[in-house]
Amino acid sequence: MTALVRSWQAYRAISGAWVRAAMAYRASFVALALGQVLTSGPDFIAIVLMFASIDTLGGFGLGEIALLYGLTGLGLGIADLVAGSTEQLGRRVRDGSLDTMLVQPVPALVQVAADQFALRRIGRISQATVVLGWALLHVDIDWNLTRVALLVTTIGSGAVIYLSIYVLGAAFQFVAGDAAEVQNAFTYGGVTLTQYPLTIYPVEVVRAVTFLLPLAFVNWYPALHLLGRDDPLGLPGWVQAASPLAALALAAVAGVAWRGGVRRYRSTGS
Amino acid sequence: MGPWRSEKSARRGAARDLRSRGRCGFRRYATYRLATAAGVFTNSVFGCIICFTYLALWQERPDIGGWDAQDAVTFVWIGQSLLMTVALFGGGFSDELADRIRTGDIAVDLGRPVDLQGWRYAEDLGRSAFHLLGRGVAPTLVGALLFSLAWPANPLTWLAFLGSVALAVTVSFAIRYLIGLGAFWVLDVRGFVVVIGFVQLFCSGMVLPLVVFPAGLETALRLLPFAALIQVPAEVLLEKSTGWGLLAALGSQLGWAVVLLGAGRALTRHATRRLVVQGG
């Protein structure tokens, strides 16, 4: 337990220093955060433009798609804020700066995630939150305590699933440092895929994001329950509440991959 | 480059310099093979996802914008191929240019016996040629394997498409050159880069083909230079622009290239006339 507390304290100390640094140039910070809102916005505007000429896409209305969009966007937004810096791992391996982290009494993963912490990434979180809020006002959900709990755990599980993908991506960079872009296919690609109802994809794709890389648990299965929709795969009902399990399983895999990466890490010597 | 060289041989030398600069631009990006493979993978994944969303859209409205579903799916792969070629997210030389202006290294560039804009253009053409071959062809093959694409009926269309892509790269270069020059006036051009990146994503047709936009908006967006980046070359390959329409399409791209390159030249002259490089 003390190790966890110490990790958290280290994360706070490092990220706090970066936040203070960013706040030294407040106007620049505001501009960059607004820039993040802009860069995460086009997808949703595209969906709204599509709905200028259609009423449903894959059997889902605009409000329902906004719910999917908001949940997955928020999950990625939180993960990106917490651990987006891990994308830099390939560079750290190349320039040798990972070495200094490995000799500190704090887990290297915590340092890699906290270093260059960019508070401007709340831009994406705010954009997703606004869309999610709008969606909740426009869809018909029969609210009760379980559904509220489901919504909250879904956001948390989504963040953990995307966090695990960031860590998996970082672990992959131990093997192939130049191939950092592959990760985008799973993070931003995952968001693009899950912001639409999975009914528009072939069933093989739906199976893959259910059993292989559990992206469907970021929003799809819980949203089916919230909206009272049938599951096109016909999986048992408890699957719609299984997002935390999927998140934990992926996190465990990511943890093993990261340890494996650190173990086989060989310094560049520079 | 001594004074004893004749005017003619100096010009020939400059042309050789530009050619070699172009080759450097190509090789600079070609070096990173693993990164290219990673990029091809990512482009292919995104291409597939977007294809399914367009197929769903065209299933609801099979004739939206006068295109059929096959046109739409083909458009996706053209877009993925051109994304890096026309550097839609910015980057390439313009970050470097802005950086050199900020640090004062630009004085060295201005002292070179080649024109600053021409030199950067040659380099960017090399880069775009690599991105078209390295990042464009492979994802399109993946797309052709998984989806049924609308290939041009007339083989000459390929030639017109290549011309249109070259003009698209030129317009994109001219825009990024202007952004880079912005560093003469503001310290940090990242704000410009983000805003232009957003505008380009939308107005080029990358996020959604312009034919899907509401009619008034589509007409307005076609008047902007950004349509020249993706929408216009795609319509050339899809044979939506043929005959006089093809000439008009290429002409609009050429017009924007001339205007924006001209603006870049004028601005370079204006900026360098009163350039003061801090010593130290």
Give the DSSP per-residue string, B59-97.
HHSTTGGG--HHHHHHHHHHHHHHHHHTTTT--THHHHH
Note whether A69 contacts B: Cβ–Cβ < 8 A: no
Query: pLDDT over 90 for what percent of chain B?
Result: 63
B142-199 confidence digits (pLDDT tens): 999 999 999 999 999 999 999 999 999 999 999 999 999 988 888 778 778 888 888 9
Q: What is the mean pLDDT of residues B234-247?
A: 95
Q: Is B198 near chain A, with CB under 8 Å?
A: yes
> Is the pLDDT score of A112 beyond 60?
yes
Dihedral-angle region of residue A122 (phi above 0 means left; psi in -120 to 50 means alpha; beta otherwise): alpha
Encode A133-171 in three state secondary structure.
HHHHHHCCCCCCHHHHHHHHHHHHHHHHHHHHHHHHHHH
Output DSSP code: residue B212: G
pTM: predicted TM-score of the whole model, two decimal places: 0.91
Range of the domain at A8: 2-268
- Please report residues of A whose CB lies closer than 8 A to that of B201: 42
Q: Which of B34, B46, B191 sits opposite A192 (nearest CB)?
A: B46
Distances (CA, A) of B70 to A110, B44, B67, B227: 47, 17, 8, 21
pLDDT tens column, A154-194: 999 999 999 999 999 999 999 887 788 899 999 999 999 99
Q: Enter the ipTM.
A: 0.92
Rounded Cα–Cα distance for residues A160 and B265 (Å): 50
* B206-235 mean pLDDT: 95
CA B125 – CA B145 distance, rounded (Å): 29
- pLDDT above 80: residue B2: no
| Any B CB within 8 A of A57 CB | yes
CA–CA separation, B156 vs A217, rounded Å? 48
- Three-class secondary structure of residue A60 per DSSP: strand
d(CA B201, CA B89): 8
- How high is the mean pLDDT of chain A? 93
Structure tokens at B197: 């990146």
Among A32, A54, A179, select the one facing B61 at the smallest CB separation. A54
Distance (Å, whole) CA A161 – CA A127: 20
pLDDT in tens, B20-37: 888 888 888 888 888 889
Q: Do B38 and A41 touch (CB under 8 A)?
A: no
**Predicted confidence (pLDDT) per residue in A199-219, tens digit:** 999 999 999 999 999 999 999
pLDDT tens, residue by residue, B105-152: 888 888 888 889 999 999 999 999 999 999 999 999 999 999 999 999
Nearest of A255, A250, A249 to residue A108 by alpha carbon: A255
pLDDT for res B1: 43
- Chain A: give the shortest CA distance to residue B109, in Å: 28
pLDDT confidence band for A145 (50 / 70 / 90): very high
Give me the number of domains chain A comprises.
1
- As a whole number, mean pLDDT of residues B229-240 equals 96
Confidence (pLDDT) at B166: 97
The total number of residues shown for chain B amounts to 280
Q: How confident is the model at residue A80 (pLDDT cuts 50, 70, 90)?
A: very high
pLDDT tens digits along A240-263? 999 999 999 999 999 999 999 999
Tokens read off for B39 = 């990029």
Q: What is the dihedral of CA A209, A238, A131, A167, to 10 degrees?
A: -50
